[in-house]
Structure 1
Amino acid sequence: SGHAVLDAAALEVAPGWVFEPDPAGAVTLRVPVLFRLR
């Protein structure tokens, strides 16, 4: 969970860089995580 939160924070800073490593997994994890942070 901790990694997911950090990943979501990174999305706010640099979405392009975050999506490079794993687009499919990134989208799956960030959607629910971003909703929780918001």
Structure 2
Amino acid sequence: MNNLDAVFVDVADFCQIFLLAWERHLIYSGVTQRNKPCRLLVS
């Protein structure tokens, strides 16, 4: 695995964890947000 692959994997892992925490925060704060599916990876 080269460095670019490692960076992509790290960013993808971070985004996955962050998005779960962000959605949980939005639910508890009462903020509504569209949950529109996308075709691209967030990372």
The TM-score range, normalised by the shorter chain, is: 0.3 to 0.5
State the structure with bigger RCO (CA 8 A, min sep 6), 1 or 2: 2
Determine which structure has more spread, i.e. the larger CA radius of gyration: 2
- TM-score if structure 1 supplies the norm length? 0.38
The answer to which structure has the higher helix fraction is: 1
- TM-score if structure 2 supplies the norm length? 0.35
